[in-house]
Structure 1
Amino acid sequence: MSSNVIDLVGPERSPRSSHAPRVLIYSHDTFGLGHIRRCRAIANALVASFPHISVIIVSGSSVISSFQFGDGVDYVRIPGVEKQSDGHYGPHHLNLELDDTIRLRTDIIKQTVLSFDPDVVIVDKEPVGLRGELKPALDILRRRGARIVLGLRDVLDEPGKLLEEWRHSGALEALDTIYDDVFVYGLESVYEPLAGLPDQQHFSAKTRYLGYLKRAVPSPMPPNRYPRITKQPFILVTPGGGGDGAGVIDWVISAYEADPTIALPALIVFGPFMSREKRKDFAERIARNPKLEGLGFEPRLELLMNRAHCVVAMGGYNTFCEILSFDKPALVVPRVRPRLEQAIRAHRAEELGLIDVLADPAQDGDGVRDPMVMAAALHALPKRLPPSQAFVPDLLDGLPAICRALAENLSSPVRTRALAPSVALS
């Protein structure tokens, strides 16, 4: 698995044209960084392969402006909605009721669809959007003849819970009647995210397993401003967005406090959603340990992943893709609440020999994190074989596979979709 590929480098900017194909990517973004980072990777891959097209990402992410996008990619920021640890939602910033916020988001999405008029729409994970906010836009897109694609990560949740959620939201009906394609960003041999749903014949024919989304070193390279630890072999510790990663970080710091013989130092990246109080407490403990350094938020985490010798992380989809892409020995401590997604992914990857997994006993509420258990895992981690030695074929073919799958709609410099006069403005 080569990691020397550079992201966002391509030919000179394509001439602008109002007649070139257009892609809209929807990402509800209620928690963490996973959805926007996945959509960003897809958008950048599309404009690299089809530089004449335009891509708009509709996102609720509060940190979307921190990320680099290729020429031809822009975004529409809808009001943020925050997912709580118990799985419930609330407005992130606005002093509105949730229903009012959803209504506002729905109107913005609908107007964006009407004005931008995409030829291809990729919906990330939620078939009808958050609380059905995407339904009016999907109706317009269906009437206009756009190609509508549902993009799914490799694991959604345990089958029973997914069935309950999708049946209640109307997602099952949309899967059957609205979507032209279902793209799974993973391999069927690794996991089948829709295996527990009924009436498989309604969508199995339009489901494609494309492979995981390979990540690249961002470009242009920034000045060398990283902590001193990065100038030598080090362990990168990342909890993703950080909103639910305090337990992993606490466990790692405790291991270094309990066992000063751990060979490699560690750089801990908190993530933008970790609470100020937790970050302050961790920073004080890190400052007292010569083998630890901390960093707040790094939107180009790929740079650090590429430099690191090995990685300790939670089991989110995007971090998993980065571990595979940069071929790093990894120890994954998966989250088990409010979804089992990370645990399912991590244990399946461990079965395939891609990573090592360490269960967090405190997540069940009655266990205690033993610092020496983590210390033993950190001693063993640098000796672990990288994921490439598991020899899983076509593991990271996701991005080129997406481009191949959409080439019929995007390769021409002129839009080929013919709009009927009666639906052109509706």
Structure 2
Amino acid sequence: MERAPIPAPQPVSSRPGRGNPRILMYSHDTYGLGHIRRSRAIANALVAAHGDLSVLIISGSSLAGSFNFAPGIDFVHVPGVAKSENGSYASANLRLDVSEVTAIREALIRQTAESFRPDIFIADKEPAGFRGELLPSLKLMGSMGTRRIIGVRDVLDSPEVIRAEWHDKGAIRAMTDYYDDVLVYGTEDFYRPLDGIPMPADLHSRIVYTGYLRRSVPGGAAAMRYPRATKGPFILVTTGGGADGAGLIDWVISAYEAAPDIPLPAVITFGPFLSNKQRGQFLERIERLPKVDAITFDPKIERLMSRATAVVAMGGYNTFCEILSFDKPALLVPRSRPRQEQLIRATRAQKLGLLQMLIDPVEAGEAERDPLVMAQALTALRDQPRPSQANMPGVLDGLNRIASHLEPHLGTQAERATASGVGG
């Protein structure tokens, strides 16, 4: 079937009657916190670079409102969907079939695009959206002259898995037919996540490697009272959303149980999606350990990251950006199922000298984890080099490069005023 041509985008300054520039972002959020946290970082940076910009984020995350958004940013919540460990999907809250929920989401996304009329649209990771829900809106925004951008993280999965998965989802076709730019939120030297995906040469030429997204300590008061251990040197153990973090948490706790002489204490963040049953079991064990404390969830995790002496994590994209941003010696224990994303990222980062990696033997099919292996790795963190010693200039320039890339498509206040016949 012949592909429809991408409509030529109209420059912002040629649209009569338009006021301040607008960006619409899409974060499908079927699992964890990664997508909404990445979208938030980009949105905050864009409104800081463009003082008259409005950014509207479409999200299915139930925790989107827990995070700090700068003035000029708001979000539209669509019904959530949840992804199980076996890869299947269901409605997160509504007692409806996932197909019904998808139809509602699709209609809300289209209505938002039609009303908001964005100058730029940025989708996170999924070119066609969840179950193709973006396609009607992509067509609509093309007719409006919206600049449509797909942004992907540094690593998606193994090339053969992504190629097959995106083909089955219609994602390759959507990216080819509807997107004007492809932003990769990483560096080409670190990893090329789209190498295994067939695309026309003209679209391939639109790929821009931005670099990683630098994080900073949020302003305002802390979101909670931190444990006493944070007043001195400590190891921060974080599993992101926590839905798949129980194995790492158990291994760290067992290390302190087996080797109480580990030099640095640990502060564990469970994450909001760790089950109440697992959290309760872990807290019972932690109460008996003088060198381990825990909190449930900190929406300003960057504060703890900046204070920490070292970090232990699974290797998700946002945590990796924070480790680089705050220059912390780190140990990654990556998940390898159902995706190899974390394993690929951790393996590459270790090879480049940015951090150390420890393979979870249970992930590799063994029956149990050795507490003393983790204890040894935790002890080694105290003297481990920082990521900056790997000397990778420009690795954290992502937010600035995104803002610079979008600048020509936003126009300036003077250009918009001239186009509207104001001033002179």
Give the TM-score, by structure 2 length.
0.93
SS, match of residue 244 in structure 1 = coil
Alignment of 1:230-241 (within 5 A): 230-241=230-241
SS at match of 2:70: coil
Cα offset for 1:415?
A: 7.9
1:346 matched residue in structure 2: 346
Secondary structure of the residue aligned to 2:268 is: strand
Q: Report the equivalent of 2:63.
A: 63
Measure the CA separation in 1 of the matches of 2:97 and 2:407: 42
The verdict on how the C-alpha distance between 1:223 and 1:210 changes in structure 2, with shifts beyond 3 A counting, is closer
- For the residues of structure 2 that align with 1:81 and 1:175, how far apart are their CA atoms? 23
Contact kept? 1:332, 1:357, Cα under 8 Å: yes
Whether the 8 Å CA contact 2:212–2:397 is kept in 1: the answer is yes
CA contact 1:329–1:387 (8 Å) conserved in 2:
yes
- My pick for the range that moved more, 175-184 or 198-207, is 198-207
Show CA shifts across 1:367-412 (max 9, x none).
Answer: 4210000000001011100000000121000000000000112241
In the alignment, which residue of structure 2 is the partner of 1:263? 263
2: CA distance between counterparts of 1:223 and 1:98?
A: 34
SS at 2:221 equivalent: coil
* Contact 1:58 1:78 (C-alpha < 8 Å) held by counterparts: yes
The AA in structure 1 aligned to 2:409 is N
Q: Is the 8 A contact 2:223 2:298 kept in 1?
A: no
Contact 1:25–1:123, Cα closer than 8 Å, also in 2: yes
Any conservation in 1 of the 2:49–2:403 contact (CA below 8 Å)?
yes
Residue type of the partner of 1:66? S
What's the secondary structure of 2:74's corresponding residue?
strand
Output the amino acid matched with 2:195: A
The answer to whether 1:143 aligns with 2:143 is yes
Alignment match, 1:381: 381
In structure 2, the partner of 1:7 is none
Q: How many angstroms does 1:413 deviate by?
A: 2.4
Paired residue secondary structure (1:362): coil
The Cα of 1:257 is off from its aligned counterpart by 0.2
- Asked whether the 8 Å contact 1:234–1:309 carries over to 2, the reply is yes
TM-score by length of 1: 0.92
Does 2:409 match 1:409?
yes
Q: Does 1:82 align with 2:82?
A: yes
Residues 100-129 of structure 1 show CA distances to partners (whole Å, capped at 9, x for unaligned) of 000010011010001111000000000000
Q: 1:281: which partner in 2?
A: 281
Task: Give the counterpart letter for 1:57 in structure 2.
Answer: I
Give the alignment of 1:15-414 within 5 angstroms: 19-199=19-199, 201-222=201-222, 225-413=225-413
The change in CA–CA distance for 1:128 and 1:223 in structure 2 (over 3 A counts) is closer
CA deviation string 1:221-245 (max 9, x = no partner): 3387211000000000000000000
SS of corresponding position for 2:388: helix
- After superposition, the CA RMSD in angstroms is 1.7
Contact residue 19 and residue 414 of structure 1 kept, 8 A: no
Contact 1:409 1:416 in 2 (8 A): no
Q: Is the 8 A contact 1:20 1:414 kept in 2?
A: no
Which digits, 9 at most, give the CA deviation of each residue in 1:314-368, with x for residues without a partner?
1100000000000000000001011000000010000000010000011133342
| Offset, 1:18 | 6.4
Runs of 4+ in 1 over 4 A off after TM superposition: 414-417
Describe the SS at the equivalent of 1:361: coil
Distance 2:373 2:270 in 1: 22
CA contact 1:155–1:191 (8 Å) conserved in 2: yes
How far apart are the structure 1 equivalents of 2:99 and 2:137?
Answer: 18
Aligned residue identity for 2:20: A
- Give, in whole Å, the separation in 2 of the partners of 1:280 and 1:415: 58
Contact 1:21 1:415 in 2 (8 A): no
Letter in 1 for 2:111: Q
Distance 1:101 1:416 in 2: 39
Amino acid at match of 2:119: D
Instruction: Tell which deviates more after alignment, 56-65 or 365-374.
Output: 365-374
2:3 is matched with which residue? none
**C-alpha contact 2:223 2:300 (8 A) present in aligned 1:** no
What is the identity percentage for the equivalent residue pairs of Structure 1 and Structure 2? 54
Give the Cα–Cα distance (whole angstroms) in 1 for the partners of residues 238 and 413 of structure 2. 41
Aligned partners of 1:21 and 1:414 also within 8 Å = no
State the distance in 2 between where 1:95 and 1:414 align: 50
**Secondary structure class of the residue paired with 1:162:** helix
In structure 2, the residue matched to 1:424 is none
| Superimposed CA distance per residue, residues 245-271 of structure 1 (whole angstroms, 9 cap, x where no aligned partner) | 000000000000000110000000000
Q: 2:178, 2:381 → 1: CA distance? A: 46
Give the total of aligned pairs.
403
Q: Which consecutive residues of structure 1, in runs of 5 or more, have no partner in the other structure?
A: 1-16, 420-426
Local SS of the residue matching 2:311: strand
2:413 alignment partner AA? P
Q: CA 1:290 to 1:415, structure 2 compared with 1: closer, same or farther past 3 Å?
A: farther
Mapped to 1, the partners of 2:171 and 2:260 lie a distance apart of: 51
Aligned 8 A contact 1:40 1:69 in 2: yes
Please tell me whether the aligned partners of residues 50 and 411 of structure 1 are also in contact (alpha carbons under 8 angstroms): no
Q: Which residue is 1:6 aligned to? A: none
Deviation (angstroms), 1:64: 0.5
Counterpart AA for 1:157:
D
